[in-house]
Amino acid sequence: MKFFKYIFLIGLIGFSSCKSSKKAVSVVDIKQMSARKVAKKHVAANFDEKTVDAKLKVNYKDTKEDLGFSVRMSIKKDEVIWLKGSKIITIFKAKITPTAVSFYSPVKKNYFEGDFTMLKKLLGTDINFQQLQNMLLGQAILDVKSAKQNVEIAEKAYQLSPKAQASLFDIFYWINPSHFKLNKQSLVNEFKNQRLDIAYPSYINNKGAYFPKEIKISAKGKNKYTRIDMSIKSVEFNTALSMPFKIPRGYKEIKL
């Protein structure tokens, strides 16, 4: 698998089957509510634990490949996202901070060190560490309280969209009426016939902390298609994390 596919996984990770002590969240009847109140409740429902330590199963599919492997993901909130991909052996490690993206592959004997420019090329829009972290935690990519929103009831959820959409893309959020985390968020560029859909079919409630149980990602462009499904095998919050990362000597640098 090429490097950009691993990085794509970094920004778009999701989760499934959990321990029996973690119960799935039920859906409640939806009621009329102002856009301002929905936005406020979504922000209030933001994931507020200090760390995440999760084991994931990943399935990746595009027009050329169909792959499956395991990922260990550790997050120190607002500071670092660390990933280790394996398929019997370690196939990559990645470390993302607010200022840098680093990666190396023991299989390919190569590495990358740089900023978020490569994610901009991949997603078609600027993305920073905070937005990437939000995607992993079931939160809106952009701050829903920073701009006036429209609201309507659609697909059994509150659909928020900015009254003044961005010039490069339109963005939509479907917010769950039960816990006010996201059911889905979509970025759409009709002019370039591109769209990115990030769906969160279900959540778990682990001692009051709502966390995605699944995330399904679909990226479509002209003659291009990528699908990523990931499921969680285990997850713990607020534990001591081990995130070793050192690029071995002799590896070849990847130029994007």
pLDDT at 122: 53
Q: Report the C-alpha gap between 226 and 60 in whole angstroms.
A: 8
pLDDT of residue 224: 80
The predicted model gives 81-105 an average pLDDT of 93
Contact 244, 24 (CB under 8 A): no
Query: How is the chain split into domains, by residue range?
Result: 3-244
Q: Which of 18-27, 80-89, 132-141 bottoms out in mean pLDDT, i.e. has the lowest?
A: 18-27
Q: What is the mean pLDDT of residues 222-251?
A: 91
Say if strands 224-237 and 89-96 run parallel, antiparallel, or are unpaired: unpaired
Q: Mean per-residue pLDDT for 192-220? A: 88
pLDDT band at 237 (very low <50, low <70, confident <90, very high): very high
Correct CATH for 3-244 of 3.30.70.260, 2.50.20.10, 3.20.20.140, 2.120.10.30: 2.50.20.10
Across all residues in the chain, what is the average pLDDT?
Answer: 84
Structure tokens at 206: 């682990």
Q: 18, 205 in Cβ contact below 8 A? A: no
Pairing mode, strands 203-206 and 209-212: antiparallel
pLDDT at 172 over 90: yes
Top mean pLDDT of 17-21, 23-27, 32-36, 131-135 is at 32-36
What confidence tier does 42 reach under pLDDT thresholds 50, 70, 90? very high
Confirm whether pTM is higher than 0.75. Answer: yes
Q: Which of 148, 207, 157, 147 is closest to 182 using CA atoms?
A: 157
pLDDT in tens, 128-167: 899 889 989 999 988 899 889 999 999 999 999 999 887 7
Q: Taking 90 as the threshold, does the pLDDT of residue 243 lie above it?
A: yes
Residue-level pLDDT at 95: 94
Q: Quick one: which H or E segment has residue 188?
A: strand 182-189
Mean pLDDT in residue range 175-189: 93
Q: What is the mean pLDDT of residues 91-101?
A: 93
pLDDT for residue 125: 55
